[in-house]
């Protein structure tokens, strides 16, 4: 099956920064076979008219908590620690039905904002809640997005000096066994994999040093990646210095948590030494500018990270601290955040596009498979409509996409399969998802 998109501007985000003002893409099966200038005249099974649009690689979301779709708009003026303390008891009521619905709703919404690959970091496993991990994988398959679920865990309850209530944490053995099982059942190392699993204890203030250490051993034994929250707030920095006598990055390094197979969510409070360690070890950072703004956590040093050649991707983060839940909107947010910190030259529109595509692919270890529009790569493509009121008249399409309002997605291909067609989800019923989301949110609060 051959699909062609033509009549559109194309930003390839390859190493040479190739762009076409009027170009085409040819997809055969799940791969891109041609990317070039002008119209495509060869035989095709299906043609998508790209007039008025910009084609880019599909965006890669490197950090999320999809279950939080059911708890948006709460703890509105809280710091991270206050917000967590208010939300943990609500989250103790989640089950497999809620996780299936919120995963489908969140991924559907991400697809409509240009995202073709998303991670999820799920760390709340109430006893008796059912197989939450399988519910996520099933929902992602239904929506059709490429999915990197990170099996999270917490074993440091309040009575052990952690932040979560005791009834929400797992034992170290249970957490490790469940993580191993998730890898064995769902991880696919293949080039075209739709599901890859990562090992993801939650954070230094909710996880014991032993679980962090043994989680890293498990991940390396099975050849999967490692993900956690790190250096998000000043309170976390103070917690690490008081409890462990070092910075969050030094703590992570002691536990075996720096390396080319690790990416860390946030990285807001990083000194020069910490940035140098991330760079020397090839450790990636998931930058979540809207969530950092919502919780008043600070502005991550993205310019410094990029200059040091640290892999940086974009992340939406959980919708309880980022109610918009869109990835497309994070492009503009990332640009503005970097410039508020470092001035108007701190980050360009093209650098933001590269961070949200190739940067994310590097964080997930998939830069040979995803992240740019090049022959041989998987056909993960976002086609952005730029001829409406919000963008018309901006001559540079990449500037329109990043400086302008979140652009409507005309089409979205994942492995060549259309997940969005004519601006609508083609795989799942959007109105049904919205109804289900309202239902599980109501039921959770009642519980």
Site residues (CB under 5 A) for Zn ion?
A: 317
Residue 227 CA to residue 271 CA, distance in Å, equals 20
Query: CB-wise, 6 or 317, nearer to Zn ion?
Result: 317
Report the nearest approach of Zn ion to the CB of residue 445 (Å). 21
Report the nearest approach of Zn ion to the CB of residue 216 (Å). 19
Give the DSSP per-residue string, 29-61: TTEEEEEEES---S--SEEEE-TTEEEEEPEEE
Residue 435 CA to residue 229 CA, distance in Å, equals 32
Report the nearest approach of Zn ion to the CB of residue 155 (Å). 18
Residue 346 in tokens:
């701190």
Report the nearest approach of Zn ion to the CB of residue 64 (Å). 8
Residue 211 CA to residue 263 CA, distance in Å, equals 17
Give the C-alpha distances (Å, rounded to integers) separating 156 from 160, 170, 221, 331, 333. 6, 8, 24, 35, 33
Query: CB-wise, 211 or 295, nearer to Zn ion?
Result: 295
Query: CB-wise, 8 or 226, nearer to Zn ion?
Result: 226
Rounded to 5 degrees, what are φ and ψ at 167? -75, 0
Query: CB-wise, 317 or 367, nearer to Zn ion?
Result: 317
Query: CB-wise, 227 or 385, nearer to Zn ion?
Result: 227
Query: CB-wise, 155 or 317, nearer to Zn ion?
Result: 317
Report the nearest approach of Zn ion to the CB of residue 188 (Å). 24
State the residue number with the nearest CB to Zn ion.
317
- 3-class secondary structure, 8: strand
Give the C-alpha distances (Å, rounded to integers) separating 22 from 10, 138, 165, 169, 318. 7, 38, 56, 54, 37
Report the nearest approach of Zn ion to the CB of residue 230 (Å). 10
């Amino acid at each position: 099956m051959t699909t062609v998109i033509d009549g559109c501007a194309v930003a390839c985000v390859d190493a040479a920064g190739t762009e076409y003002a009027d170009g085409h893409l040819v997809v055969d099966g799940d791969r891109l076979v041609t990317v070039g200038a002008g119209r495509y005249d060869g035989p095709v099974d299906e043609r998508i008219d790209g007039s008025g649009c910009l084609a880019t690689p599909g965006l890669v979301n490197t950090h999320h908590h999809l279950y939080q779709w059911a708890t948006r708009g709460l703890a509105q003026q809280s710091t991270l620690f206050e917000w967590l303390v208010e939300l943990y008891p609500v989250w103790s009521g989640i089950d497999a039905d809620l996780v299936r619905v919120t995963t489908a709703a969140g991924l559907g919404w991400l697809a409509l904002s240009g995202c073709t690959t998303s991670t999820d970091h799920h760390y709340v496993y109430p006893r008796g809640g059912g197989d939450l991990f399988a519910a996520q994988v099933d929902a992602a398959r239904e929506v059709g997005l490429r999915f990197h679920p990170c099996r999270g865990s917490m074993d440091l309850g309040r009575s052990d000096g952690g932040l979560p209530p005791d009834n929400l944490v797992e034992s170290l053995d249970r957490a490790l066994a469940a993580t191993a099982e998730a890898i064995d059942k769902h991880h696919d190392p293949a080039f075209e994999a739709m599901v890859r699993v990562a090992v993801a204890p939650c954070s230094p203030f909710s996880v014991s040093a032993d679980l962090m250490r043994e989680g890293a051993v498990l991940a390396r034994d099975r050849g999967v990646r490692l993900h956690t929250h790190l250096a998000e707030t000043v309170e976390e920095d103070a917690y690490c210095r008081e409890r462990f006598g070092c910075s969050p990055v030094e703590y992570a390094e002691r536990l075996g948590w720096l390396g080319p197979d690790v990416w860390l969510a946030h990285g807001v409070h990083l000194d020069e030494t910490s940035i140098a360690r991330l760079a020397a070890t090839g450790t990636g950072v998931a930058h979540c500018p809207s969530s950092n703004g919502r919780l008043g956590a600070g502005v991550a040093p993205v310019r410094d990270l990029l200059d040091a050649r640290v892999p940086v991707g974009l992340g939406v983060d959980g919708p309880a601290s980022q109610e918009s839940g869109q990835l497309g909107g994070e492009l503009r947010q990332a640009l503005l955040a970097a410039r508020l910190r470092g001035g108007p030259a701190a980050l360009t529109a093209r650098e933001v596009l590269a961070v949200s595509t190739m940067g994310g692919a590097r964080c997930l270890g998939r830069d040979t498979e995803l992240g740019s529009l090049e022959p041989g790569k998987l056909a993960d493509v976002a086609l952005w409509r730029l001829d409406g009121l919000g963008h018309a008249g901006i001559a540079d399409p990449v500037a329109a996409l990043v400086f302008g309002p979140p652009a409507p997605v005309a089409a979205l291909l994942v492995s060549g399969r259309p997940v969005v067609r004519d601006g609508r989800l083609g795989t799942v019923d959007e109105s049904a998802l919205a109804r289900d989301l309202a239902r599980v949110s109501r039921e959770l609060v009642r519980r």
